[in-house]
Amino acid sequence: MPGRETMTLPAYETLTTDILILGSGGAGLLAALHAHDAQPRASIHILVKGLLGKSGCTRMVQGGYNAVLHPQDSLELHFRDTLAGGAYLNDQELAWTLVAQAPERIRELESRFGCFFDRNPDGTLHQKPFAGQSFDRTVHRGDLTGIEIMNRLAEQVLRHGLPTLEDHRALALLPSADGGGVAGALCLDVRRGTFLVIRAKATLLATGGGPTMYKITAASAEKTVDGLAMAFRAGARLVDMEMVQFHPTGLLVGESGMSGTVLEEGLRGAGGHLLNGRGERFMAKYDPQRLERSTRDIVARSAYLEIMAGRGTPHGGVYLDVSHLGAAFVEQHFPGMVARCRDMGFDLAREPVEVSPTAHYLMGGVKIDTACRSNLEGLFVAGEDAGGVHGANRLGGNGVACSTVFGGIAGDSMAAYLAGRALPPLDEAQVRAALAWAVAPFAAAGEEDVYALRDELKALMWEKAGLVRHASDLKAAQEALAHLRWRAARVRVHGTPRLNLEWQEWLNLDSLLTVSDLIVASALERQESRGSHYRSDYPHPDDGQLYNVYVQREGEAWRLWRQPVVFSRLKPPATGTPERAYLAQEGE
């Protein structure tokens, strides 16, 4: 391409649709199916960064799906568990919507879309134990639940003939010319290297989060927080971006890309032990009541502290040991985990395996209401791109439930939104600006290595803004991120746009840098320890007034502010109660 000063912007094709769905995980596909049910004549297009049903994080769900089905369980118990796990930062209306609609969604997945879940001998759905739950309510398909759900949903999308654009990535949400709303998105056909402007009456952001800005991560490789970066740049309001969940048991496999892959929580629920490098069962020091069945934030931080204290394994982790449960039991109940470990040369059923905390999930995201509406007209959000449901920490089993529950709601909401609505006018100047940004690295003057920059970012976020945080580290991270951003602008991409992996990596890096800035700034703003956010300089929760941290771009600047948590259904337990004592230990 020519130099920046003489560069002409590339041409683009245009596609018009009623509903544009960015993302093809559980949230995106449920939204498409629900919208199609409600408005069969509406045009619906699904954008897939990878391949339909083969990419994204829903497919990687192992453990299962939380839903109240047993007569001895109740929605109130599930709701209380979700709030306690979230340290009462949750948007309670969103949390209640999750638990209230999860049973209905499970029945829909099974009876309508054909998902097969494990059953008891009496024919009822089998539900296994997961951490932080007062009742065993996790529905599952062995230990590979996500594959079952995604296969069935993808089949239904194909059966209904809903158009999917595979190997397409969204680059920018396009504002409407009348201001305040979203008119569609600028997209890239990765295979052809060509641009596509998709105009839509309603746009759903369901790209999934995936904190891949950390050195050890469980998210699928193509997840680079594109949706959150696009939403922020478009002026969407984001909440609690400091809340990053680290799963306690990511498999350690040296320099392999498999490192960080989750060994599911059901292994601990079934009675697995965590041991430090000395062979000591260390969770008794951190949560003597629940031990390994404590919530993910506490278990992950406990493992990290053992490693940092010099009591880690030879490869810098801890051991997960289920061998005492018996090889036959482990192989029968966790065949996927046994096979995964065996592929890496480990025998999970008969020996301890090395694991490490692994960046797993973003509780923060775009603030939505119970209809999945954002503050931007025409923009709906569901799944991990949305914030507020999980508060300061997500319970295992609530993730895929959240994606499918709110995906279905988003589909219904968008279908209703279409009534009598015209296509919003497009701001052509914003299209040109987005195109100029996207192709800029082809004309950059520097020789920075984009792959080296991404490795530096991963190490920086792990060391300065990971499981244990401090103001001095966070401020150092802010300075380093600004310098990485300056260097990223000097990456020169070589070759042509067609299937250009270096260019794709630059686009990934831009999203990761944008969201890393938000995580670090929000972590500095929250001067307490709560849930997944632990500040060694503020090691205890501040119960004076619970607040959410919001961030929003306004023009070329952005602002950060606090708002008190609204306890619309349930107030936190009083100081001195057993439940409050449990919450307090999250800040120890």
Residue 278 half-sphere exposure toward CB, CA atoms < 13 A: 9
> What was the pLDDT predicted at 219?
85
DSSP reduced 3-state for 492: coil
> What was the pLDDT predicted at 482?
98
**Length reported for the chain:** 588
pTM of the full predicted structure?
Answer: 0.93
Amino acid at the residue 91: D
Q: How far apart are CA 256 and CA 368, in angstroms?
A: 37
Angle CA(504)–CA(214)–CA(585) in degrees, nearest 5? Answer: 150
**Torsion on CA atoms 186, 190, 192, 197, rounded to nearest 10:** -10
**Torsion on CA atoms 184, 163, 170, 10, rounded to nearest 10:** -80
DSSP state of 119: B
DSSP alpha helix (H) spans, 213-313: 226-234, 266-269, 283-286, 296-306
> What was the pLDDT predicted at 4?
41
Q: How far apart are CA 540 and CA 289, in angstroms?
A: 20
Per-residue pLDDT in tens (0 to 9) along the chain, 588 residues = 333 444 689 999 999 999 999 999 999 999 999 999 999 999 999 999 999 988 877 877 877 999 999 999 999 999 999 999 999 999 999 999 999 999 999 999 999 999 999 999 999 999 998 878 999 999 999 878 989 999 999 999 999 999 999 999 999 999 999 887 999 999 999 999 999 999 999 999 999 988 999 999 988 888 999 999 999 999 999 999 999 999 899 999 887 878 888 888 889 989 999 999 999 999 999 999 999 988 888 899 999 999 989 999 999 999 999 999 999 999 999 998 999 899 989 999 999 999 999 999 999 999 999 999 999 999 999 999 999 999 999 998 999 999 999 999 999 999 999 999 999 999 999 999 999 999 999 999 988 999 999 999 999 999 999 999 999 999 999 999 999 999 999 999 999 999 999 999 999 999 999 999 999 999 999 999 999 999 999 999 998 889 999 999 998 899 999 999 999 999 998 765 555 544 444 433
Six-digit token string for 206: 């369901």
Residues 6 or more apart in contact with residue 524 via CB below 8 angstroms: 471, 474, 475, 478
> What was the pLDDT predicted at 576?
55
Contact 469, 304 (CB under 8 A): no
Closest CA to 95 of 554, 401, 490: 401
Packing angle, helices 92-111 and 75-85, rounded to 10: 120
Q: How far apart are CA 502 and CA 444, in angstroms?
A: 13
Six-digit token string for 343: 């592929």
Six-digit token string for 53: 């049903």
CA dist 320 → 138, 207, 346, 575 (Å): 21, 32, 12, 34
Angle CA(247)–CA(248)–CA(252) in degrees, nearest 5? Answer: 100
Query: Which domains, and CATH codes, for the chain?
Result: 12-175+196-243+361-417 (3.50.50.60), 249-357 (3.90.700.10), 428-540 (1.20.58.100)
Contact 412, 34 (CB under 8 A): yes
Q: How far apart are CA 523 and CA 545, in angstroms?
A: 17
Q: How far apart are CA 213 and CA 480, in angstroms?
A: 14
Give the residue numbers marked as catalytic.
247, 268
Angle CA(39)–CA(407)–CA(58) in degrees, nearest 5? Answer: 130
Strands (E), 345-469: 353-362, 365-367, 379-381, 386-387
**Torsion on CA atoms 193, 198, 203, 209, rounded to nearest 10:** 0
Q: How far apart are CA 547 and CA 521, in angstroms?
A: 15
Distance of CA 525 to the CA centre of its chain: 21
Strands (E), 48-167: 65-66, 127-128, 138-139, 164-165
